[in-house]
Structure 1
Amino acid sequence: MGKFWLSLVVLLAGFSEVNGYRPNIRPKEKVTTSEQPDPWYRTIYGTKVELVTPTVIAGVTFKAKPSPTPNPLEPWITLNKLGEPKTVKPEIKNGITKKGSPDYSTYFKVASTTTLAYEDLKAHNMDPDEVYEEKVFIEEDKTYVSLNPVIRCTPDRYFNKGPSRDISSEPFCTPQEDVQWKVGKTYFASWYTHFFRDEHSDEVIDEVKVHLSYVKEREGEKGFVKRDIPATFFSSEWLRNDEGMLAIEVQPEWLQGARTRKVVLSVQPKNVPDEEFHPLDHGILLFIDAGSRVYKHTKEQLALEEAGFTERHWLFVAITMPTVVVIALILMYFFLYANNSYRDFSDITRKAMSKKHRVIGKVSEIKKFKNLRNHKYSELPSYQTKPDKQH
């Protein structure tokens, strides 16, 4: 009996841990501000003084005033597959910096070849007529790109796109293909700036445009590359290509009354005329979506909410009621099990057994009892009792 009550306590404790009451913890209110950081000034290219006005986009501060001394633990911003920003805070573990700012290697450097003669080096193992060639990388101008805290796009961050996922996403790093951009949210499109070069001089193109165009798949070609582009509904101004990204806020009118539209994101370099530019050549296919529907509450719903029956309350009731029923059934089972010795169902059992008796006919007709002499009821002995005396 002691084991039974111990099992019951353990069982009920498990239910209370899963579905038991928990106090309602009110989250701390987040303090937000719409104030822009103060402008600051700096001297560039030796003598040129410039005023810099920081800009906050999607919670990211661009052109912020740098710290007086370099900080290896300075937070930086990465982008997920949608192009949404996320802050990364470096940390030092066992003397090694983890999650540090990205290293761009030589992706943004300019390769150059330097030729040196014997007269320049005077190396003891060079012939007088020998020429030495050295490949060097020249650092890019970081005057403006250093003010961008968001990770830059490089070829090692490309992904695979297309129906078979066997096509490089160049020049894009974000967004990835077939993701959904929600109306009212801001996303960052990022591309590798050195992808756009002049075919004659091999110099990096200095300005680009970003386009969004509707995509209409032809019948019978669903999922294939051949598509018609009916219209380009968004085009940016000419942008500095060295920035390598653009923040795009999805507008509701872009859906044109539809719930979801398939679009292509593309970048047009300045050396390609409009009539020669094809968005699907290096574009990224994605969807723009209206997001969650907003339903208006009826009068009945408002009355219930005023009475304290909110959606959260109904959810709590929906979770609690099945648990209460299960606990009640378990308690009933254990109650019946514990009182098993105090119950007598013999009467019920006897009635049930009597119903199972079959009618097999007259006894005299049974072969086993044919030779057995039977007496009439009147021949059986009877006993008479004296009547009670009347008082």
Structure 2
Amino acid sequence: MGHIVVVGAGQAGASLVAKLRKDGFDGELTLIGAEPVPPYQRPPLSKGYLLGEMALERLYLRPESFYSEQGVTLRLGQEVTAIDPAERTVTLGDEMLRYDDLVLTTGSEPRRLPAAIGGDLDGVFVVRSLADVDAMAAHVTAGKRALIVGGGYIGLEAAAVAAKRGVQVTLVEMADRILQRVAAPETSDYFRALHGGHGVDIREGVGLERLLGETRVNGAVLSDGSALEVDFVVVGVGIAPATALAEAAGLEIDNGIKVDGLGRTSDPHIWAAGDCTSFPHRGRRLRLESVPNAIDQAECVAGNLLGAGKDYVPKPWFWSDQYDVKLQIAGLNTGYDRIVTRQGDGPTVSFWYYRGDDLLAVDAMNDPRAYMIGKRLIEAGRSADPAVVGDPAADLKALLKP
């Protein structure tokens, strides 16, 4: 059945090779990863792993032995530098590897601060890889002073871990409020209060002017003219799809590697899945940055490599852990025009996003029931009576009845 080469040994790549073998692919299968470790979970890096509550081996998606047992050639610590679509080869150092079909699961890359404002100083970290977090861990200790740049979920999760470790944390967000790009003001208000209660100094509408220090960062000047003394900096200003390899190979790029519903790129023998891709969805192109999307899309592509011919239909859901709060998100809130709040006990609350009478998404804080019911409704294409949602005495399960 030929040779399938998968470039990118993250969640999508690992899911794809496992699914291919499970579904009966018995040809040659190679998974190539630039990092020197087997595929691992990324979300716990900035949470349990950084806190020292999770051992390295528990990060691995599967034991390394799984790959050899499944006949998957694992090429770790090796970077693909070029793709030749005409010859159907990838370049690994001095080696050329031939493929019959190629799958790009290259993921995404963190945006970094420019060197001109101190982004290359020692003590400035991003949160993306195992190496990033290992380098940061020694600094996240009680009494240190940290600046977090960016008030999205990555920045807020980093702030929560640092605060729990006794670090004095200042977080700056250039937009008017934290989470402005991804959540309603109600969710922003909830997490601002949560972090404030743990001593985090959140400054909104304030950007970073420059970092200070000769070789190692020791301070920061903010856009409002204020200055901070800092021991380390965590940059959480978003991620970008890793498309350089695809672009150099002449593949179409559109907010990620452009794929059709099946996961095929502009080259008939090259496919892509996960964070690095944009795909058609309800008349527009969508790119999702989430573990569930990486798994589901990769498994869909695996099926299509074997002839299934099924378009990928995403079921978007996300999560974030901060302190003792688990945020679970179902759906996509793009285009909402009102929020219905369902208040539970203590820190339990959910925010329901509507466009007109249509339910689009749910943000649920420590409320797994609201999340699951909202998710089931959204996936079924059904809405929810706002009066029931907003009444804390009403039984949400009634919404699921036909």
TM-score by length of 1: 0.21
Which gives a bigger RCO, structure 1 or 2 (Cα 8 Å, sep 6+)? 2
Report which of the two structures shows the higher radius of gyration computed on alpha carbons: 1
